[in-house]
Structures are given as C-alpha cells and as structure tokens.
Structure 1
Amino acid sequence: MNKLLIAVFFAFSITGYAQKQITVEDFTTKNTFSQKTVRGINWMKDGKFYSTLENNKVVKYNITSGKPVETLVDGSTLNPKIEIQDYLFSGDEKKLLLSTNFQSIYRRSFTADYFVYDIATKSVKALSSKDKQSYAAFSGDGSKVAFVRENNLFYVTLADMQEVQVSTDGKFNHIINGTTDWVYEEEFSFVDGFYWSPDGKKLAYYRFDESAVREYNLQRWGKTLYPTDYRFKYPKAGEANSTVEIWFYDLASKQKVKADIGTEKDIYIPRVKWTADANVLSIRKLNRLQNNLDILHVNASTGASTVVLSEKSETFIDLEFTDDLIYLNDGKQFIYTTERDGFKHLYLYSIDGKLVKQITSGKFEVSQILGLDEKTKTLYYTSTEVSPLERHFYSISLNSNKKTKLSESAGGHTINMSTDYQFYIDYFTTSAHPTVVSLYKTKGNALLKVLENNDALAKVLDEYGFSAKEFFSFKTVEGTQLDGYMLKPKNFDASKQYPVLVYQYSGPGSQNVSNAWGGSHFFFHQMLVQKGYIVAVIDSRGTGARGENFKKLTYKQLGKYELEDLIAGAKFFSTLEYVDDSRLGIWGWSYGGYMSSLAMTKGAGIFKMGIAVAPVTNWRFYDTVYTERYLQTPQLNASGYDDNSPSTYADKLQGNFLLIHGTGDDNVHFQNSVVLQDALVNAGKQFHSFYYPDKHHGIQGGKTKLHLYTMMMDYVLENL
C-alpha cells in the first residue's frame, strides 16, 4: 500500500468520511450555510389566503393547499419597474404600498421610495414626487397614507394624491416629528412614531426636542482629501435627554392638541397605542430611572389624561416586548404583562386599571404574546414553561384559564398566526437541525404542509462535519446553576487535552444557550472546532428566560457577577480531563467584548487569550436609556460605573489580547476602545488592536467580514 493510500485510509479511519473544510469565505461571501425560510408573510382577511414576497413578486397563496393562486403584483412589469423590498396591504386589501431603494440610517431607521399600487386597475403611483420618505402607513380605511420626511409628518389623500404637511418645525439635531431620536430607536426598538386612529380621523405622533442633547462627532474618512464630520445627538449616561411629547392632529379641522402627560419632563414614553375607542390613546410613561411606569388613557380631542395603572420596581421595569398590551374590542378590559410575581406573566385588567385576574402563572416566562381571538376569548402566546432553553406555543382561555400546549417537538418554536387565528406558521428549530417552516390549522392543531424543511442544508452540514451542541451546566461560587454548551471536534478523544475558547455575550436579558440551531458566530466556531478547538458558550447570571431575580441580580453593578461566572466556568473546564487548562481563551462582541476585556484585566490570569470586538469599556460612554436602566445615573452610582470598567484595571492585563472596533460605530463609540488602549499603553501593557475605517457596530460591508473573521481565526491559532 503506497503512502497516499495509507494517508487516505488513515483519514477515513478517523473521521469515517472525507470531511469538507470550512473556510471563512463559506460564511462571509459564499453563503454556503444559509438557511431557507418563508419571509414576508401577510395573512389576508378572508382567512383563506396569505401572501409572500418572492422573486420581486407579491404572490397570493391558498392556505389549505399551500399553493400559489395569483400574482398580485410583479415589480419587473411595472412602469416604472420597481425592485420591491417590502409591501403593505390597505385595510380593504385593494391597494398595496410598495417600498424600494432603502437607505439605512441607524439600526432600524431608513428612507425609501414608496409607491401605491391599485390591484384592480393595476396602476402604480409614486407616493410623493419629493424626497424619499420613511415608515409610510395606510389609514384604516385605506384612503390615506402617512409618512415622515426630514423630521416632519405628512399624509397623502390617495383620491387626488394631494400631500398635507402635519408638522412644520422638524429640523435635524433639533426637532423630530413622527419618528424617534437615536436612543429611542436603539433601546426601545422602534422608529415609526405616528399612529392612525382606528377610524382614520386622527393622527397621534411623537415630537422630540433634542436641542439640549449633546452631539457626538463621527469622523468619516472615506477617500476624500479631508475627512468629514457627522454630528448626531447621542445622550450619554447622566446627560440630558430629549424632551418628548405626544400630539394629536385632527384631519378634518387640521387642529393639533398636545397630550397631558404630566409636568415632569425628564421621562420616557416607550410605547403608544390606540385603545378600542377611536378617541382614546394609551400612553406608557417611564421615569428616568425606569423603575416607575404609568399607563395613561388620553382623550385625543382634549388631551386630558387619566392614569389607569402604575407599576413600581426596586430595580427596573423591563419592556421586553414591542406589543405586550392588548385592548379588548368591547372597550372594557385589557391584557398586560408584568413581572409582579417574579416572572413575566399575563394579567387581565378592567379598562380603569383594576386587576381582574392573573392569566398565566408559574416559574417560567411568557416570551411573546401572539394575539387574542375575541370570538372564542382564547389567548395565544409562547413561553419557557418546558425549559428556559426552549420556546413552546400555548393557548389559554380567558374565561376558564384552561391551557393547551400546541407545540409538540422539543426545541424552539417561533409562531406567526393568521389575523383570524385559524392558521399559524411554526418556525421550528433544534440544536440538531436548521429551521423547519410548517403551516398548521389551529383547530385540531393539524399540520397542513411543510413549507421549508432545510433538508438540503442539513446534508451540506453533514458533508462539512458540523459538530453537535453538547449541553452542560455548572455552578457559580454561590451555588446557582448556569447553562452552557460545547462544540467538540468530530474526532474527539477524551484521552487527549484540547484548548477551549469561550464565547459569551452576557448582557442583561440576553440568551445564547438554547435548544436551537446555530447562534451568534456559529460558523466561525465550527471552523475553529475543525481545527482542534473546543468552543464553549455560556450564559451568566443577568441573562434572560429564568425569572426576575436571575436577570436583575446584576442591577447597579454590571460586570461583577458576570465575571465571577465566567471565571467559575473556566474553573469548571479545568476539572475536565480532556481540557488543557493552560489554553483557555475568551471572546465576545459588544457587551460580550466588554466582558472579555474585563476577564483579561480584572480577571487576569484565568484566560491565556482574549478578543474584544466593539466593546463598551466604561459605561459612562454609553447611552442613557440602556445604561441607566441597569446602573442608575453616574451621579447616583459612580462606583457601579467604575468598579467594573476594564480601563480601571488596565495595569492588570495578562495574556494575549486583541481589541477590534469600527471607527464609524454610532452605537458603542470607537471612543471606548481608544480610552482602553490609552490606559493599556500608559500601564506599559503590550496588546494587539485593529480598527475598521467607517464601519458601524456590526463591522460589515464589502469584504470586511471576510477580513475580520480571518484575522480572528489567525489570532486564535497563533495565541491559543
């Protein structure tokens, strides 16, 4: 037998097959491992059809057969041709609002070109002949469309395409109408700041005065002779916020009324929605420290308000959902979620705020409210009742509290229900298989059709020898059990010793360890596993899905308990005979970068190598809403900001440390890494750093991700 055959035989004897090698190109430029899914679902009102956006067409499908029955619009046949990037139906489903030419601003904000398409006449009209618009939305009767342009609110009457300007004082970096400022967009997770009344006669909208907010300056380097400055309002912890107001505009009288939200100006209004009464708006108001929340009902004609429900917390009130408040059609009751018993649960209140009953209870979290079927008084939601590592689908009767578990298979279930609740689509995943998309009939919980099974991808993953997640748990110094998972090499030999790279995010309410396929930087981790590393992922105390006490333990001292837990994890790995405890590494991005920086400085000597991407290095540099929610203000809790800042412990750095940041990061500013680098230099510490010119928090665009992951891979191979 010649040497080549011996080598081939040896390779097969170890792996069982010729395993393909993962390259950085596979998951940055080639999309070798991309999942297929079903996107752009719009359930249609008659309960018989849904539509999707595919191949630049909005296609109508029969629900029961899962087959296409009609192409509602084909963007390539329109005049002008439109590359449809998103679409919305009018209330009567006779018109479509098509959007194209998106231009991102920050994480969620954008401008676009909008077109109104009439399905019957097949005619298309530009919503406006002026500059791009943002967040366009039909009125309830489909006769008008409102939108934002250059910080002002407008609407168009579709019958004559006449444009009406609602607000006139909008000005960049000063006044904002109909959308949000930077910190609301980032931390309260919305940008569409106007709301049609149910009868279409009024518009409620946000107005921000950010004149007193200090500017942050991003230099954009580009290829010009001189860099340009981009200044935007960014309120850092302890600094001035925007003053926020809610206004009403009556379309008939063209009169404006301001909502009475009280005399205190240093507040937040994180959520607004109309009640079943077309003249009553529900406003949620938070104090600056976010430990006192009021639900106000406001008369849209007069602006007069009534506080119907108040909630207080010794720590903070966490608005995890974008829509966790449901008003019943009879106008007499509403459903709301709170953590008043230590876990996020559903409660029923009368319209005046009196508690009627608790709907769900137990030592688990309601993850998402999916909706209420008013006909049967059945509420649908997902929760962690089976396990914090899984999400399951339930229904519960408002009348009897009878609960039914609708999802069967262990794993994660993300549900999209039809508007009449007769059907739902289940996006189901496990740690062993990519997403399976299935269509169900709710009655009888009957499977109608598997829309996508990703079996082709599963075969690709097998060819590349992807390692399965092995779940484990360990205890903190105080005895709390924590969860994690490992990825081990395919030819794992327990008699050998392996280096371990720990990945974590660790931020409040987050979760990285779950019975779901993939995860953050999953393909990068699989590539390292192929090269002989064990990759471990840990969720520390302060993360989500395990109740209020677990999540809020880190209040006023971010980083303290998370670091204890990462060190406890390292000590746990050291007890495993197959782990080389002299070769432990840690890395993370954003909050995870903060924690890997802290582990290499305050926790020095535990990890041989660390990588921090776009880290916060002192919470004084981060925004008001996020930071003060967990730490209060620097004026009230200075030690909470400084006692766990990596910069404070720069002189303790041990091991190989790589610091990476994008200079155009509008979220976690490059300033964070500059200050940490300065502290490390002054402490006489050697380290490596790399910056990406003009790249934002996600560090992407062009071949940036290819470069980034290649650099990190090389750094791990050379230093761990």
Structure 2
Amino acid sequence: MYLLNRILSTALVMLFSIGAFAQDKKKISLEDVFKSNTFSAKSVYGINWMNDGQYYSSLVRGANGSSVVKINVATGKVEQTLIDGAKIGVNFSSYSFNSDETKALIASSTERIYRRSSKSIYHLVDLATGEAQLLIDGAKIMYASLSPDNDKVAYVKDNNLFFVELASNKITQVTQDGKWNHIINGSADWVYEEEFSMAKAFDWSPDGKKLAFIRFDENDVPEFNMQTWGELYPQDYKFKYPKAGEKNAEVSIHVYDLASQKTINVNSGEEKDIYLPRIYWTSNSNTLAYLRLNRLQNQLDLLYANTATGDSKLVLQEKSDTYVDLNYNDNLYFLKDNKGFIRTSEQDGFKHIYHHEESGKLIRQVTSGKWEVSSMVGVDEKGKKIYFISTEASPLERNLYVINMDGKGKKILTPEKGTHSVNMSKDFKYYIGYHSDANSPSKVTLNHASGKQLQVLEDNQELKDKLKNFAISEKEFFDFKTVEGTSLNAYMIKPADFDPTKKYPVLMYVYGGPGSQNVTNSWGGTRDFWHHHLAAEGYIVVCVDNRGTGARGRDFKHSTYANLGKIEVEDQIAGAKHLGTLPYVDKGRIGIWGWSYGGYMSSLALMIGNDVFKSAIAVAPVTTWRYYDTIYTERYLQTPQLNAAGYDDNSPITHVNKLKGNLLLIHGTGDDNVHFQNAVDLVDALIKADKQFDSFYYPNRNHGISGGNTSWHLYNMMTDFIKNKL
C-alpha cells in the first residue's frame, strides 16, 4: 500500500508539473497561425548546381529585389553575384541557366493560370556583361526555353509555339492553328496539367535543330462555364473540362525541323482516344521517346519515334487488371552512348528501379523489397551508381540511399529519422539536403555525397526558439487494426496539458485519396499549427491513413479500385471506433474534417457513420465523381458508362437521408478543379431530404480558398463551428 501511495503521489506531482509547465507557456492562437505567421519556416530557394560541381547558385530575395549569387562549396561563402535584379531593373521570381552557364533566362511579373501553368515577362541575361535583353518586347509568354546552341528561345503564346533568334530578334511561328478552347500547341490542356503534372509540352532536341511538341485538339471537349463575380453583370469564364465519361482532347505529337521548316507527325497508333502524357528526347536527336496510355489507363506503352519519318516502334509495355499509375512509372532516364535507360515501375507490387537495354529488354531489377522508391535523385553514369529516396526504413520516413547499377552495395546516406529530400550536384559529389520530422522544422544542409554534413545553410533556429515559448505537445504516431485485421497508420496531437483522467473531444483530419499520404514523419506547416491551436482549446486531433493511400505497396493502394469511398470510409469509421475505446476520449464527441478528396470523405463519413461522428466539415468536396475529370476519376473508377455503381453508390448525394450530425459545407465559387457545382447539388439533395446543415461559399476563390483575408476568415469560421458543434 505504501508503494502504491508513493506511485500515485509521484504521478500527481508529475501531472501537476506538466500542467504548471503548460501554463507558463503561451497558447497557440489563430492570430499566431494566420495573422502574424509566427510559425513560418525558412528554407533555401532557387538552388542550381553549377557545372563544375564546386559552386552552386541560389536565388536571394531582398528589400531591393531579387538576385542570384554564386556560392563556393568548400567555403560556403558567396563569391559572386551572377544576376543583380536591382542593377538591371528587374524584380524576377525564377531563373534558369543555359548549358554552358554563359546566359540565364529570368521570369518576372508572373501571372498564374492554373495549378502549374503561368505566363511571364522574360529577359535573357548575359552573365559575363550583366546585360539583360527583353524578349518579345515585354509580352507575357509561357515556358521560355533556351536552345542547346544558346542562340534561340522557344516559347508558347496564344496557344501557338514560337522561337526567337536572339541575335536578330527574328521570330518564327512554328504552329498557326492555336486558338483558345480549340487548339493548343506546346502547352498542356487543363486535365493534363492537373492530373499528369505537366504544363510545358515541348522540348528542344539535344542538337538544338528540332522542336518536339504535343498538340491538343479540344474542339469536341465540353466547356465548363464558371461565373466570376464583382462586376455589374457577372462574367462567364468558359474553359474545356472533360468530366468522367466525356470527350477528351485528341492529342498528337509533332516534330518541327528548323532547317527544312517542316513539321512531321508522329504515328502514335490508330486509336485516338488515348493519352500521350510524356515526350523525352533520347541521347540521339533522331529518336524521340514517348509514353502512351489507353483511356482506362490499364496499359502503358513506351515507344520510340523516328523524327525523320514519324514512324514509331513499341519498346516496352505494362498492363494491369486495375491501372498503371503514371506517377509510379514516370522516372525515365536515358543513358549516354545508347546504353539503355533506367526507369521505375511498381510491376512487382512495390515501386522499384529497373535497368533496360535500349531495345527495352530488361537487364536487371536494381532495387527490390517490400518498400517503395519514392523518387530517383540521379544516375551517376561515370560512377555507375543510382541515388534514390525510399521508404525502406518505414512508410512514414523518406531517406536517401545509393546503390550500384548492378543492384549491389546499397547504402543509406541519411540515417536520421524523418523526411529527407535532396538536390544533387551534376558531378554527384555533393547534395543540398532538406530534412525535417514531425516535431522539427526543416534543416537545410550542404553534404558530401557520402552523407557527411559540410555546412548548415538554414537550421530554423529562430523558429525553434519561438516554439519553446508555446505550449505544444509532440505529434504521436500509432497504428491500430481494423475489424478485417488491416493495420493502419495514424498520428495524434494532444493538448499540451493533457490529463489522461479527463475525456476529450476528437477531431479527425482526413484526405485519404489514392496514393496520398498524410501520416508521415515530417514537418506539417500551417494546417498542423491550426490543429495545435485546437489542441490548445482542449481537442485531440487525429489523422488516419486509410486503405488506398500510398507508400505501402500496389495492393494496399489499389484496394479501392472501381469503388472509391467505400473501404476508405469504413477505415475512418474504424479509426473513430478505436479512438472511442480509449479512456481519455469522449466517444460521443468525435468529428471529422477534410479538403477536396478529404471533403468527400468527411461528408460521406458523417452520413454513413452517423452513429460514430457527431460533426463534419467538408471543404471543396467532390460530392459525385460524375462531376470530376476524366484522367483522375476513370483511372480509379473506369467510366460511368462501364461502372455506374462505382460512381453512385458512395456519393454523399446518395446518402443524404442518413445525415444526423452537424455538417459545415464550404466551397469557392471560382474553383476550376472541384467545381462549385458539387456543393450546389449536395445542398439541393440535403434540402430535398429535409436536412439542416451549415454552408458557406467564397466568391471567386479557387480550390485553395486563399488570398488576402480569406484563410483567416475560413479557419476562424471552422474553429467556431468545431467549438459550437463538437
């Protein structure tokens, strides 16, 4: 009994000390997160390695404008200002060098279009003289690219492809038929940009004598009409957006020969309802490689095109009973001297590296195991090594490894727990490392290729010192098993003064889409600090990565195929039920929120899990996959014509009659991605079902719902809803 009393006394003292410790520190306020940006982390931007490997350049933004400086790897000191924006009178936001580092293209007055597309004013800077040449009389152009021989710049303007000869300023218009909402040359359409992560759709040949480009014929693609507000009469913004099952753009590949001024068409096959998402020049300017996907995305082909005749031959093919994920097959590196190519594929169930002969014949699988290669960092042909980031240590971690091209000698270079990304020098002697974990902001370092740290470029010590003044608990990782026995990864943020004898409400945060991942050992940023604010107000915040998410192999990811929403929501409900068994959780006050796919998940979970979830916030949700785009939706669900049940059975609109709890629905009227139409139809269905709910729209805001005072307003409103309804 004495021992028990002593243990209890010690525990009470510890709890009192923790409480007192928390009270001595500040609570995180909404103002800290969204007004003063107290927790903004610093980084090192715009780093480009110089050719000799002994220097790298960096973009510096200062009070007097932007500049590019040259830094000595050995000393870590700035040795030269390569581009001085103040001197040339240009406040630029990005830059790129030509191959021999004598010139640079700088972009200014950049105007965003969609997620990855933009147009800018470009200058060509002579690095020897510092003189800047304004291109195209200051007209805004897209994707300006220097030719390998340094005397021409290719670009896209008004849906056509051009190039300008720098010595004479002579402009050659390569294509003539470009027209808004009809034909695009050299730039991606909306759905390719969003779902295939591409915007620029042209490239110079290695010898600078040819331009390969992709042409999009959008004539038969249905238009989406998005009204914008603010004028006396609302304005219509119409753009081509192929919804699931509808017509895509007809896509073709072309090669323009500068000498003959002729364009040849690449023969990509008789079937026209296909995707051509990538073009690559091989080391030979007479051979263009490209990828071809069928409409259902369950067959991926790699082909070579003869750029003199346009004839194509099949080099490699992958098929799947579900889908072949381009994101997992997009690392394609052609070796010099026709020694083949290196690529990634998840054909054995996990994304790994493969080495092929030029003909496509497999030489060997370079990496293997029940873990994934997240990305290929670089191929050192001289040293016969491949550098890559992988999840071998854990699906929650990302580490840098090196392996010999023969598949031997694999070594971890960044053993520290957390998430690593790197920018490697061209000679593979050094790299810039970016490292964070769930409770430590990014640290940027200069490292030898062996992994040895040479210099700290940014340690975010100022932010770390600030954090010491706030009552913040560490993010805790855990896993649990569902009824079916599947183990799911999760994290939890508790109040800093957490008392295990109390009962706390829980807010779950979800995204949950195919191949995504929220539960990682990495620094979270603004949204995490909003969660910390909620923890300071007495809530526990939890995130669960359901089946269908990434980093755990093809079977885990593809388990949601043809039936999006079903097992993902089952897993979120299982997560909530698991939390409800914990002694410190009030199982009657569990809520869920999410954005985009997460908004789809949170609204559906509230309806199907009406006995588990009390409240939900759905921000910019898909409410029926019939309204979303072809490439993303059909990859996972096939077309509505082939799989109507997959589209309708797990739509929140189908389940409105089950709503019992509190729903807050939020959407931007200017959302070009997940259209406001999704919210309108869900609202209409809820009204018909006689269900009360809260909703809010943000005029003209896009999918990110940001700009000006918007984020502050949005998170204030969501915080009030949680306090009132949870």
TM-score range, shorter chain: over 0.9
Match among 700, 706, 712 for residue 706 of structure 2: 700
Structure 1 residue 446 displacement after superposition: 2.2
1:16 & 1:614 partners in 2: Cα distance? 36
Q: Which residue of 1 aligns with 2:83?
A: 73
Partner of 1:185: 193
Distance of 1:41 and 1:428 partners within structure 2? 16
Matched with 1:298 is 305
In the TM superposition, what are the counterparts of 1:621-636 in structure 2 within 5 Å?
621-636=627-642
**Partner of residue 262 from structure 1, selected from 266, 269, 273:** 269
The Cα of 1:13 is off from its aligned counterpart by 5.4
CA contact (8 A) 2:28 2:471 kept: no
Equivalent residue number for residue 287 of structure 2 = 280
Tell me by how many angstroms 1:134 deviates: 0.6
The corresponding residue for 2:106 is 98
Corresponding residue for 2:534?
Answer: 528
1:688 corresponds, among 669, 691, 694, to 694
2: CA distance, partners of 1:172 / 1:29: 39
In the other structure, the counterpart of 1:319 is 326
Q: CA deviation at 1:276?
A: 1.1
| Change beyond 3 A, Cα 1:251–1:321 | farther
- Indicate whether 1:112 and 2:120 are aligned: yes
What is the deviation of 1:420? 1.3
1:272 CA drift (Å):
1.2
1:234 aligns with 2:234: no
Aligned to 1:573: 579
Residues 67-466 of structure 1 mapped to structure 2, 5 A cutoff: 67-78=77-88, 81-129=89-137, 131-222=139-230, 224-320=231-327, 323-399=330-406, 401-442=408-449, 444-466=450-472
Query: Could you tell me how far 1:410 is from its partner in structure 2?
Result: 1.0
CA deviations on 1:150-190 (whole Å, 9 max, x unpaired) are 10011111122221111111000000000000000000001
Give the aligned partner of residue 7 of structure 1. none
Q: Check whether the contact 2:48–2:58 (CA below 8 A) recurs between aligned residues.
A: yes
Question: Amino acid of the residue matched to residue 199 of structure 1?
Answer: D
What SS is found at the alignment partner of 1:407?
A: coil
Measured after TM superposition, the shift of residue 25 of structure 1 is 2.8
1:65 CA displacement:
1.5
**Distance in structure 2 (CA, Å) of the matches to 1:421 and 1:135:** 28
Q: Deviations over 1:473-530 (max 9, x none)?
A: 1112210100101000111010110000000100000000011122571111010000
Alpha carbons 1:345, 1:366 under 8 Å: kept: yes
Query: Which residue number in structure 1 is paired with residue 10 of structure 2?
Result: none
Distance 1:11 1:69 in 2: 52
Q: Percent identity?
A: 55
Q: Structure 1: 5+ residue runs without aligned partners?
A: 1-9
Alpha-carbon distance in structure 1 between the residues aligned to 2:180 and 2:160: 10
Which string of whole-angstrom CA distances, capped at 9 and with x for unpartnered residues, describes residues 606-654 of structure 1?
1001000000000000000000000000000000000000000111111
Cα offset, 1:133, TM superposition: 0.2
One-letter code aligned to 1:68: V
Could you tell me how far 1:139 is from its partner in structure 2? 1.1
Which residue identity is paired with 1:291?
A: N
Of 55, 59, 74, the match for 1:64:
74
Superposition deviation, residue 271 in structure 1: 1.4
Q: Partner of 2:5 in structure 1?
A: none
Q: Distance in 1 between matches of 2:397 and 2:419?
A: 5
TM value normalised by structure 2: 0.96
Aligned to 1:482: 488
CA-to-aligned-CA distance 1:453-489 (integer Å, 9 cap, x gap): 1121112122122221111111122101001010001
Q: Does 1:598 align with 2:608?
A: no
Question: Counterpart of 2:643?
Answer: 637
Please state how far the C-alpha of 1:335 moved relative to its aligned partner: 1.0
* Aligned 8 A contact 2:384 2:405 in 1: yes
Partner of 1:330: helix, strand, or coil?
helix
> Which residue number in structure 2 is paired with residue 679 of structure 1?
685
Alpha-carbon contact 1:293-1:311 (below 8 Å) kept: yes
Q: Structure 1 residue 384: deviation in Å?
A: 0.4
| SS of equivalent residue, structure 1 residue 317 | coil
Rounded to whole Å, the distance in 2 between the matches of 1:65 and 1:324 is: 34
- Secondary structure, in 3 states, of the residue corresponding to 1:64? coil
SS in 2 for 1:336: strand
Per-residue deviation at 1:321? 5.5
Aligned CA RMSD, in angstroms, stands at 1.3
Distance 1:422 1:148, change over 3 A: same
2:340 alignment partner AA: Q
Q: Which moved more, 1:258-267 or 1:468-477?
A: 468-477
Q: Name the residue aligned to 2:30.
A: 24
Residue 406 and residue 77 in structure 1: after superposition, are their counterparts in 2 closer, same or farther (change >3 A)?
A: same
Q: Distance in 2 between matches of 1:74 and 1:295?
A: 44
1:320-359 Cα deviation digits (max 9, x unpaired)? 2585011110213111111111000111111111111110
Q: d(CA) in 2 for partners of 1:311 and 1:176?
A: 29
Q: Distance in 2 between matches of 1:350 and 1:13?
A: 64
- The Cα of 1:563 is off from its aligned counterpart by 0.6
Q: Secondary structure at the match of 1:32?
A: coil
- How far apart are residue 73 of structure 1 and its match? 1.2
Q: Does structure 2 conserve the Cα–Cα contact (< 8 Å) formed by 1:11 and 1:18? A: no
User: Is contact 2:289–2:303 with CA below 8 Å preserved after alignment?
Assistant: yes
Partner of 2:504: 498
Selected match of 1:612 from 610, 618, 623: 618
Give the CA deviation at 1:125.
1.0
Is contact 2:669-2:698 (8 Å) kept?
yes
* Distance in 1, Cα, partners of 2:68 & 2:586: 55
Which deviates further from its counterpart, 135-144 or 665-674?
135-144
Q: Which moved more, 1:25-34 or 1:681-690?
A: 25-34
CA distance in structure 2 between the partners assigned to 1:325 and 1:118 by the alignment: 32
The 8 Å contact of residues 12 and 18 in structure 1, kept in 2 or not, is answered as: no
Unaligned runs of 5+ in 2: 1-15
Deviations 1:301-337 (A, max 9, x none): 1111110001000101112258501111021311111
The farther-off stretch of 596-605 and 642-651 is 596-605
Residues 238-261 of structure 1 deviation map (CA, whole Å, 9 limit, x = unaligned): 000000001000111111001110
In 2, distance between residues paired with 1:12 and 1:365? Answer: 40
Match of 1:561 in 2: 567
Q: Secondary structure at the match of 1:463?
A: coil
Following superposition, the deviation at residue 11 of structure 1 comes to: 10
> How many residues were matched structurally?
707
| Secondary structure class of the residue paired with 1:340 | coil
Give the partner amino acid of 1:306: K
How big is each residue's C-alpha offset from its partner over 1:652-671, in whole Å with a ceiling of 9 and x where there is no partner?
11111100000000000000
Aligned residue for 2:11?
none
Distance 1:130 1:101, change over 3 A: closer
- The answer to whether the Cα contact below 8 Å between 1:131 and 1:149 also exists between their aligned partners in 2 is no
Distance (Å, rounded) in 2 between the aligned partners of 1:520 and 1:229: 34
> Quick check: 1:484–1:513 contact (8 Å CA) kept in 2?
yes
Q: For 1:3-39, what per-residue CA distance to the aligned partner results, in whole angstroms no more than 9, with x for missing partners?
A: xxxxxxx999533553223232322232211111111
SS at match of 1:129: helix
